[in-house]
Structure 1
């Protein structure tokens, strides 16, 4: 019997972009931070607008590694607080876009841009929502490796 990849020594690649799209839909879509302040009651990712780029898990000399370089756009909803004096008016939801132009495997301080909102609201989103979103996004690499590294060892 011939062994094609003895001791998992040779380079093996697995494209994980389809899994990444599912991951973002399962873990990031619906992510929400509630706040009790005068203007806004919360922030929520309501849609994954775009995920493009590369996402791969590889193995070389028996060691799993991952590399990804993604461009991600997320639809953000900013929910305004209700005003008790204006019961007949609905809460007005403000929508913007969260953009990760280069979400990469070797950068934990990746850029996150906000568009479609006023400067004041963008400041609040950056202060009250983005740190929590960044923490969730940083879990992606660990989950990617845990999910796919075993598949490569069995190749």
Structure 2
């Protein structure tokens, strides 16, 4: 086996004119939050919608909460964005001087949902017939115009933040389009871990739960810190779980993965060396948590990860062991290229 930096082209920096990010292998990231807020405001503020004698426009982008980032791993662009947007609007019927006002709320603009599925709620001030007509117009016509603007935001986000994330390889001055694949953090596919339900004939009420331990080890072709990041950086966890992630990567911080099927809490974190979590499946007995320890050890030519999970319900051991291999280890290797030994 070659040592780190010897023989493996991913680590040979002298072959690159800038000596960084060889073959686009390393994880690089750009914060797209401030740019996104400006772009969304530009696209939505003062947007005019007129049809069949009804004239409306967005008068104010009242609030934009959320985040966005663009990430590169091994020539793949992963975009993460999640926004909660509130707008004010006004409109009037033809021949009527009185303005009718209301608000629109977009609570779930994210890469998890197609723009056509994004919720947009419309409210109006007043209960008269004219107010209801304009509200219906905003619901039936204006929402489609809003969605078109959101599509433009996503398109321009990918265009703007692709620049500089994918670097040219040796002998190239620009990046060829064929060398770049653009995907969302969910790879347009959601994964739900198979719920584990104990067989009915083994269900015992009022008795102590029978538990066992699981021990696994796996080699990864990466630095120890890179594997640690894969379990603690929300954009990287999003990439390998292929779904929305909630996570506070700090001692005592909570996490929720795989559509809420896996939840838990960080108990100990030693960067590049160890992670200890309280961890449970959604369909385990209520309030029952196991304790998972990841020991991360960087070797000469790979990183060895040893996992120990205690207090696993005895009837769930085999399936849980397989899910660690399938949904964690194999997915991490596939998402970040940590499984390739050259």
TM-score by shorter chain over 0.5: yes
1:145 to partner: Cα distance: 0.6
Question: 1:124, CA displacement in angstroms?
Answer: 2.3
Q: What TM-score do you get using the length of structure 1 for normalisation?
A: 0.83
In 2, Cα distance between equivalents of 1:27 and 1:110: 17
CA distance in 2, matches of 1:105, 1:92: 39
1:114 aligns with 2:122: yes
TM-score, normalised to structure 2's length? Answer: 0.40
Which of 21, 26, 30 is the equivalent residue of 1:10? Answer: 26
Q: How many residues align?
A: 145
Q: 1:20 aligns with which of 4, 13, 36?
A: 36
Contact 2:28 2:72 in 1 (8 A): yes
Structure 1 runs (4+) greater than 4 angstroms displaced? none
2:82 to 69, 77, 85: 69
Q: Which has the larger radius of gyration?
A: 2
Q: Distance in 2 between matches of 1:122 and 1:94?
A: 9
Q: Which residue of 2 aligns with 1:101?
A: 107
Q: Deviations over 1:28-58 (max 9, x none)?
A: 1121111233xxx212111111111111111
Higher relative contact order (CA 8 A, sep 6+): 1
- State how far apart, in whole Å, the 2-side matches of 1:123 and 1:116 are: 10
Q: Return closer, same or farther for 1:151/1:94 CA change in 2, 3 Å cut-off.
A: farther
Alpha-carbon RMSD across the aligned residues, in angstroms, is 2.0
Partner of 1:133: 146
Aligned partner of residue 155 in structure 2, secondary structure: helix
Higher strand share: 1
SS in 2 for 1:144: helix
Q: Secondary structure at the match of 1:152?
A: coil
Contact persistence 1:65–1:145 (CA under 8 A): no
